[in-house]
Amino acid sequence: MRYDDSPPPPESASSISPDRPWFARRPALAVTLAALAPTCLAGWVLTQVLSGPASGAPQPAAAPLAASSPAAAADAKPNASPSSPAPPAAPSASLAAAPAKGPLTGRTVVLDPGHNTGNFKHGREIDQQVDIGTNRKECDTTGTTTNSGYMEAEFSLDVSHRARALLEAKGAKVVLTHDGERPWGPCIDERARIGNQAAADAVVSVHADGASAGNRGFHVILPARVKGGAADTAKIVGPSRDLGERIASNFARATGSSPANYLGSGTGLVVRDDLGGLNLSTRPKVFIECGNMRDDKDAAQLMSPQWRQKAAQGIADGITGFLGG
């Protein structure tokens, strides 16, 4: 554009077509270029779509694979309403992953928490007689307590919970004969049956004793050789002793407790033939009396959560050793 009224300078001869002046051809040239521009642009876009972005060009952010909300689903599907739920997403691989395995994977352990806190209220039920193979005996007992009222049934269930967690961390399947959910029991014959039906590799019944003050320490009760009625312990006597010896040594190491000073001749091992839970078992099984609730020094340990954790550790370590873990 010019900003004065002077006439334009004359065109040079070399810039003028011999047929028509240059300024007369400009409108036609502009029209031609305007027509070609959209065509060229469309061709370039098509080339980019078909061939992808040039190497080294910045990549656009990837679109989400699935709508994360009903509104997003409606955007992805033009015919869907905003209130329509999005299709369920496939489960992630982390949720479907198998649980971690441990040295006790494939093994089953039954823990039998002695007695039940509700047995005190169900004297008639727990006094009923059941067959233990060699004779008949009461279904269960109330268990004992410390002088301050801490119940053996509370202790045995707490230690069983702690031992279960330790064993499950090693991959074991752990079954409890009861978990405090029952008003009383189970009876001693049912406790044995639970271990048998679970095909348990090891069964441990957790208790605390009620001897007189001054009697201290733990002991493990092993099954005697018994045969009569439904009882036949011939196959479990050997492996049960192995299980009991391992628990006794590990329990002493974990807790710092000594074997009982009032029975077992200082070995911490006692053999009995009058316990239905042992007589009726077809799986390796032992009882452990973790201490004497009627002795104040032992009772102080039994009431300590820290000591109970050590007790559970000793029991779990003994079972683990027995099972080759």
| Exposure on the CB side of residue 58, measured as CA atoms within 13 A | 2
Measured distance CA(142)–CA(200) in Å, rounded: 26
Quick one: pLDDT at residue 100?
53
Residues 6+ apart with CB under 8 A from 106: 171
Note the pLDDT tens digit of each residue in 3-57: 333 344 444 333 333 344 433 444 444 434 444 444 444 454 444 444 444 434 4
| Catalytic position from the list 152, 154, 245, 289 | 289
Radius of gyration of the chain (CA): 42
Residue 131: pLDDT band with limits 50, 70, 90: very high
- Could you tell me the residue ranges of all domains in the chain? 108-322
Which pairing describes strands 231-232 and 136-138: parallel, antiparallel, or unpaired? unpaired
Nearest to 324 by CA among 237, 202, 206: 202
Quick one: pLDDT at residue 186?
98
Note the pLDDT tens digit of each residue in 238-291: 999 999 999 999 999 999 999 999 999 999 999 999 999 999 999 999 999 999
Quick one: pLDDT at residue 11?
41
Measured distance CA(221)–CA(245) in Å, rounded: 10
Could you confirm whether 168 is annotated as catalytic?
Answer: no
Nearest to 140 by CA among 97, 188, 210: 188
The second-level CATH assignment, the architecture, of 108-322 is 3-Layer(aba) Sandwich (3.40)
Average pLDDT of the chain is: 80
Is the confidence at residue 312, as pLDDT, over 90? yes
Residues 6+ apart with CB under 8 A from 40: none
Measured distance CA(279)–CA(302) in Å, rounded: 28
Give mean pLDDT, residues 282-305: 98
Is the confidence at residue 132, as pLDDT, over 50? yes
pTM for this structure? 0.71
Q: Measured at the alpha carbon of residue 249, what is the angle toward residues 176 and 178, in degrees to the nearest 5?
A: 10
Is the confidence at residue 305, as pLDDT, over 70? yes
DSSP 262: S
Note the pLDDT tens digit of each residue in 52-101: 444 344 444 433 333 333 333 333 333 333 333 333 333 333 333 344 58
